[in-house]
Amino acid sequence: MIHLPDEHGRFGAFGGAFVPETLIYALEELKQSFYSAKEDPSFCNTLDSMLRHFAGRPTPLTCCENLSHKFDCKIYLKREDLLHTGAHKINNAIGQALLAKRMGKTRLIAETGAGQHGVAVATVGAKLGFETEIYMGSKDIERQRLNVFRMELMGANVHSVNSGSKTLKDAINEALRDWTASVENTHYLLGSVLGPHPYPDMVAHFQSVIGREAREQILEAEERLPNMIVACVGGGSNAIGIFRSFLSDAEVRLIGVEAGGSGIETGKHAARFGDLKSGRPGVLHGTYSYVLQDPFGQIIETHSVAAGLDYPAVGPEHAFWRDFGRIEFTSVRDDEALEALRFLSQTEGILPALESAHALSHAFRLAETADRHEIIVINLSGRGDKDIFELERILRGGHEPLRPAV
Ligand SMILES: *Cc1c(COP(=O)(O)O)cnc(C)c1O
């Protein structure tokens, strides 16, 4: 089994730490603290206890009888949608906040696009008594008023970022700027397996509880491993969180699903691996990985109906395993994700997040041609409650009753 990353945070050619000198000290401190904490039983116990009693772990592995019947193969969902705040992001937020405590920090900063990560950070900030500051593009604040309000209810301070495209990547730049000036008392709580070392490895570690549970649960239910595991990939944290426990089981196919937006050929998407023309290795926000860029290396604006998948780069660990051939990648368009969302809702009574619906849609494609005895596990990264107004806008488009999906 290949052990990753190396001491410089590299996953093969990918990863590393491309940051200004002013952040080197903070990253070094974080590295030491994280790698010692993860071996410290008292830290691990506190983390386990908070995941259990505050976040709601372990999450169930639900067997979907109705879907299984329709497709004539076995389909299971790993239910991260049932966690506190509605998605897997809380796993990482709790881990890093406890680490920040251990380092003696009193202030948390974070960036957020759709607001889901901001809500998770504001939540743990309140629980653990931090001063919490969230950076968000002014355009995203406009689009995500309810999540902004949720963060404010939790006592967080939301900063509007007016530079650049006024979205996630500009919020990250601003958060990094804050951190440069505040490292002494502040922890930057990054939301996915992105950014400079040790973030990609650390976030993957805090999310790997998903795969450890899923492995135990499927063995208990079926007495064997699944044939395929499918997860959506924004930065890649929920995906690597479930995949890590199965990397050395060559018989288990691991499949990541990117946002195909309006279609790869339209240029309006976030398929870093799927767009062979624009998706090329490069540095963004401190790490070397696949990035959507123009011929001059300028970052291309992405599009997805799922805000959590709408980012121009992908985690370096995914880049490595993709080039290595261990993790397969594909993409699902907005309209296909919407159809899968409605199908799951009506067949199983579970409303998935738009992000998770990308994984569902591809899993349904795979299920069409699977054998009866095959098992597919889908990581249901979050619930769809946050998307309800957007869904109504897109699907209803008036005041007519919603027709049943086919
Ligand atoms: C943020 C988010 C994602 C995408 O982030 P990853 O780091 O790729 O997991 C996926 N699903 C949901 C529900 C999210 O909130």
pLDDT digits (tens, 9 = 90+) for 302-322: 999 999 999 999 999 999 999
- DSSP 8-state assignment for residue 72: T
Query: How many Å apart are CA 341 and CA 384, to the nearest integer?
Result: 9
Cα–ligand 1 centroid distance for 399 (angstroms)? 31
- The reported pLDDT for the residue numbered 110 is 98
CB 128 within 8 A of CB 264: no
Provide φ and ψ at 353, rounded to 5°. Answer: -65, 155
Query: How many Å apart are CA 65 and CA 74, to the nearest integer?
Result: 8
Specify the 3-state DSSP secondary structure of 123: helix
Angle value at C-alpha 93, between 253 and 293, nearest 5 degrees:
60
Query: Which of 78, 89, 386 has most ligand 1 atoms within 8 Å of CB, for mutation?
Result: 89
Question: Does ligand 1 come within 6 angstroms of the Cβ of 147?
Answer: no
Cα–ligand 1 centroid distance for 380 (angstroms)? 10
Please name which of 348, 334, 315 lies closest in space to residue 387, comparing C-alpha atoms.
334
Active site residues: 64, 88
What's the whole-model pTM score?
0.97
Query: How many Å apart are CA 359 and CA 362, to the nearest integer?
Result: 5
**Upstream peptide bond of 5 is cis (omega within 30 degrees of 0):** yes
Please name which of 186, 193, 195 lies closest in space to residue 100, comparing C-alpha atoms.
186
Its sign, for the CA torsion 264, 343, 361, 234, is positive
**Residue nearest (by alpha carbon) to ligand 1 atom 14:** 308
Query: How many Å apart are CA 96 and CA 317, to the nearest integer?
Result: 19
Residue ranges in the chain modelled with pLDDT below 50: none
**Residue nearest (by alpha carbon) to ligand 1 atom 5:** 234
Question: Does ligand 1 come within 6 angstroms of the Cβ of 116?
Answer: yes
Cα separation values, 28 from 11, 22, 35, 296, 376, Å: 18, 11, 11, 32, 40
Cα–ligand 1 centroid distance for 83 (angstroms)? 13
Query: How many Å apart are CA 387 and CA 338, to the nearest integer?
Result: 11
Question: Does ligand 1 come within 6 angstroms of the Cβ of 382?
Answer: yes
Question: Does ligand 1 come within 6 angstroms of the Cβ of 381?
Answer: yes
Residue 397, exposed/middle/buried by CB under 10 A (0-12, 13-18, 19+)?
Answer: exposed
Question: Does ligand 1 come within 6 angstroms of the Cβ of 89?
Answer: yes
Nearest atom in ligand 1 to 191's CA = 7
Cα–ligand 1 centroid distance for 216 (angstroms)? 23
Question: Does ligand 1 come within 6 angstroms of the Cβ of 90?
Answer: no
Question: Does ligand 1 come within 6 angstroms of the Cβ of 278?
Answer: no
**Residue nearest (by alpha carbon) to ligand 1 atom 7:** 237
Tell me the pLDDT tens digit for each residue of 360-381: 999 999 999 999 999 999 999 9
Structure tokens at 1: 């089994």
Provide φ and ψ at 368, rounded to 5°. Answer: -55, -35
Query: How many Å apart are CA 171 and CA 169, to the nearest integer?
Result: 5
**Residue nearest (by alpha carbon) to ligand 1 atom 13:** 382
- The reported pLDDT for the residue numbered 167 is 84
Domains of the chain: 18-52+89-203 (3.40.50.1100), 57-86+208-396 (3.40.50.1100)
Question: Does ligand 1 come within 6 angstroms of the Cβ of 211?
Answer: no
